[in-house]
Amino acid sequence: MLVLIIAASTVGGWANDGEDPLPGTDSLILEGDLAARMVDNIREFLLDKNIEAKEGRIEYWDRRFLSFEEYDRSILPNQESLATVLGVVDEPMGTGMEINASLGYGETRGKNHLCEIKSVRWQALDGVYGEGLLVIPAGEILGNIILLPDCDQHPELLVGLEGDLPLDNRIALHLGSLGCQVLIPTLIDRDHEFSGNPDVRMTEIPHREMIYRGAYEMGRHVLGYEIQKVLAAVDWIETVNPDTPIGVLGYGEGGLLALYSGALDNRIDVTLVSGYFGPREQLWKEPIYRNVWSYLKEFGDAEVASMIAPRTLLIETAPGPMVNHPAGSGLTPGTVAPFSPDEVEGEFQRALTLIQGLDPIPNFQLIHNATGAPFSLET
Q: Which of 17-21, 226-230, 280-284 has the highest mean pLDDT?
A: 226-230
Burial class (CB in 10 A: 0-12, 13-18, 19+), 266: middle
Backbone angles phi, psi at 279, to 5 degrees: -70, 140
d(CA 245, CA 210): 35
Residues 237-249 have a mean pLDDT of 95
d(CA 82, CA 78): 6
Superfamily of domain 74-367, CATH level 4 = Alpha/Beta hydrolase fold, catalytic domain (3.40.50.1820)
Where does the pLDDT of residue 13 fall: very low under 50, low under 70, confident under 90, or very high at 90 and above? very low
**Do the strands 143-148 and 180-185 form a parallel or antiparallel pair, or are they unpaired?**
parallel
pLDDT in tens, 283-306: 999 999 999 999 999 999 999 999
Where does the pLDDT of residue 8 fall: very low under 50, low under 70, confident under 90, or very high at 90 and above? very low
Whole-number pLDDT of residue 325: 93
| Range with the poorest average pLDDT among 17-21, 59-63, 219-223, 277-281 | 17-21
User: Cβ distance 246 to 269 under 8 Å?
Assistant: yes
Q: Could you tell me the CA-to-CA distances from 70 to 51, 262, 313, 358 in Å, in that order?
A: 30, 18, 19, 10
Whole-number pLDDT of residue 66: 96
Question: What SS3 class is residue 109?
Answer: strand
| Summary mean pLDDT of the chain | 89
Assess whether pLDDT exceeds 70 at residue 154: yes
Q: Where are the alpha helices (DSSP H) in the chain?
A: 2-17, 34-56, 68-74, 76-86, 155-158, 171-177, 207-216, 222-240, 253-264, 295-298, 301-306, 341-354
Strand partners, 147: 249
Whole-number pLDDT of residue 11: 45
Where does the pLDDT of residue 29 fall: very low under 50, low under 70, confident under 90, or very high at 90 and above? confident
d(CA 325, CA 334): 5
∠ CA 33-39-44, rounded to 5°: 125
DSSP state for residue 183 in the 8-state scheme: E
Residues 79-91 have a mean pLDDT of 96
pLDDT in tens, 174-209: 999 999 999 999 999 999 999 989 999 988 999 999
**Contacts of residue 28, Cβ cutoff 8 Å, sequence gap at least 6:** none
